Amino acid sequence: MINLPSEPYEVAIAGAGPTGLVTATLLGLAGIRTLLIERNAGTVNEPRAVSIDDESLRTMQDCGLIDEVLANVAQDYGSIYVDPNGAEFARVMPTLKDYGYPRRNAFRQPVLEATLRDGLKRFPHVDVRFGHTLETFTQDESGVTLTISDGDGGTGTARAQYLAAADGGRSLVRKAIGARLEGSSFEERWLIIDLARTEDPLRETRVTCDPDRPVISLPGPHRTRRYEIRLKDGETDEDILRPERIAALLAERGPDAGSPILRQRVYTFHARRADRWADRRVFLLGDAAHLTPPFAGQGMNTGVRDAQNFAWKVTAVVRGQFSPKLLETYQQERAPHAWSMIQLALRMGSVMAPHKAWVALLTRWVFRTLSLVPPAKDYVAQMRFKPKPRFEEGFLHRPGPRSLVGTMFPQPLVETASGERVLLDHLLGSGFALVCLADDATPLFGRLSDPVWAKLAATRVHLLPRTLSFAPDCGAQTVRDVNGFFVGKERDFANRLFVVRPDRYVAAELPMDAVERAVAGFAALCERYGIAASVREQDR
């Protein structure tokens, strides 16, 4: 028998890849009693995902591990697109840091997973069980019963209020709840080669858009590199994986023919999404819910977004802050954005790996033409084609079409009254926050008498423009926009309060000229998702 506690866990997580590890970390920080089970003996030891974006780095900051993660990340690199002869026709070099970090960064999944696993040692209430497998589970009105086995033939049962399934593309849990994957799989096959040490000094991604043999070369931290090479019809796995064939393919594209190889494998990519992500007390996260082609580097990042969204909601439900109805918004919010990332990957794949010469020629002509028009060139260079995270439905109170509700709130560098400079999230805390950009925030904060704010325990932050150094005391922590991030954005941000959720998305806007009406609308939203009217009446 496996030694498992009789006391129920609050959340159980199946799968300790990046999505499961991030979910466990966020729950650990929130004080949630968590069980994390993983059938493998440890975290992965071979490269898999290699791209981590600004949103995921922001989540690593929320996990309290940003310094450890950044120590093994190659930050802020771009992509150069070339034709079969090596002539450049497009360049993507984003410089914007809307969320506090560069948009494109390279990492090594084994290192990230080890960092997250070590970080879980901070939490005695998070029970980590590697070498354990979720065999079956059943649900009832109060929780989930899990049957678990270990590698020595032992079995045991555990109870949890909720089960988060981050158990990968072949998810047992997805099959058990009857969810089906919708979408398609690529007929083409790609060879992935991960190098321990590259001799190619180029720090940018090089995309050779050759209809005959597309090749993507991605730099990594500490002189690592990945090559992704599309196979031709008739090429077999056995032939292409021979050492001499690998060396010949690498020699065609640079100086890495003799570089030490960490991994070489042939993959078929998928563009699929589960038709439903939840069944009562069971929820799908990461690859269990969606499978994304690699061309946009968004597979792992989409799973991290799932973890952030699910973790704050299940925490709020377990704590009794909101009713279980809040968890109904998980798929409602995440599924459309996950699908938009899949579509982005497909579009980028059509550019990176065209199938016909005339399509490649037309694509190059379009990009070279766009480069002659500054706004269009900037659109490509700054990666504005990547869909920004935006929820149309869910835990949101949207007053109008121009609202920032449903979008991720920016994270500028700010200066505190003591002169310390930090990224904004360091001051927002792990719960809800009220952020006001104004010269004087007193008129806005002074009108927040509704008891919903006490129930949310929202942190209050007054964000001063860059040109001011102090303002009247408004009962909030006052900080200054150091780099002028909001200069020129006054129409969208000034003289209003933003209700920022724990996952850093804007739940509501409270404009100065309609504060009471907006507060009433947001309070009604909270009541709909579990702040009972009786509780609010008691507070009054």
Residue 121 and residue 167 share a domain: yes
Residue 124 and residue 212 share a domain: no
Residue 225 and residue 282 share a domain: no
Task: Assess whether pLDDT exceeds 70 at residue 538.
Answer: no
Mean pLDDT of the chain: 92
Residue 279 and residue 148 share a domain: yes
pTM: 0.94
Per-residue pLDDT band for 385 (boundaries 50, 70, 90) equals: confident
Residue 448 and residue 328 share a domain: no
In a domain, 373, yes or no: no
- Sequence-ordered list of residues with C-beta below 8 angstroms from that of 428, at least 6 positions apart, any chain: 435, 459, 461, 500, 504
Task: Assess whether pLDDT exceeds 50 at residue 257.
Answer: yes
Helix, strand or coil, per DSSP, at residue 333: helix
Q: Which of 220, 248, 268 is the last residue of a domain?
A: 268
Residue 148 and residue 15 share a domain: yes
The whole domain housing 233 covers: 190-268
Residue 136 and residue 285 share a domain: yes
Report d(CA 331, CA 284) in Å as an integer: 9
In a domain, 369, yes or no: no
In a domain, 134, yes or no: yes
The CATH number that applies at residue 525 is 3.40.30.10
Q: Which of 350, 375, 397 is the last residue of a domain?
A: 350
In a domain, 259, yes or no: yes
Residue 480 and residue 418 share a domain: yes
In a domain, 251, yes or no: yes
- Specify the residue for token string 């449903």: 406
The CATH number that applies at residue 57 is 3.50.50.60
Residue 252 and residue 280 share a domain: no
* Residue-wise pLDDT tens digits, 387-396: 778 899 999 9
Residue 169 and residue 20 share a domain: yes
In a domain, 213, yes or no: yes
Q: What is the pLDDT of residue 535?
A: 40
Q: How far apart are the first and last CA of the chain?
A: 53
What is the tally of structural domains in the chain?
Answer: 3
Q: Which of 250, 268, 286 is the last residue of a domain?
A: 268
**Range from 189-193, 309-313, 468-472 carrying the lowest mean pLDDT:** 468-472
The single-letter DSSP state of residue 397 is: B
The single-letter DSSP state of residue 181 is: E
Q: Could you give the percent of the chain with pLDDT greater than 90?
A: 75
Phi/psi class of residue 517: alpha, beta or left (left: φ > 0; alpha: ψ in -120 to 50)?
alpha
- Nearest to 211, CA basis, from 85, 103, 353, 320: 353
Task: Assess whether pLDDT exceeds 60 at residue 445.
Answer: yes
**Range from 144-148, 151-155, 186-190, 526-530 carrying the lowest mean pLDDT:** 186-190
Point out which residues pair with 150 in neighbouring strands: 132
How is residue 422 written in tokens? Answer: 């930090």
Per-residue pLDDT band for 401 (boundaries 50, 70, 90) equals: low
In a domain, 89, yes or no: no
Residue 51 and residue 25 share a domain: yes
Q: In terms of pLDDT, which residue wins out, 446 or 225? A: 225
Please compute the mean of the pLDDT values over residues 276-284 and round it to a whole number: 98
Residue 283 and residue 254 share a domain: no
* Residue-wise pLDDT tens digits, 9-67: 999 999 999 999 999 999 999 999 999 999 999 999 888 899 999 999 999 999 999 99
* Residue-wise pLDDT tens digits, 87-130: 999 999 999 999 999 999 999 999 999 999 999 999 999 999 99
The CATH number that applies at residue 244 is 3.30.9.10
In a domain, 88, yes or no: no
Q: How big, in percent rounded to 5, are the helix, strand and coil portions of the chain? A: 35, 25, 40
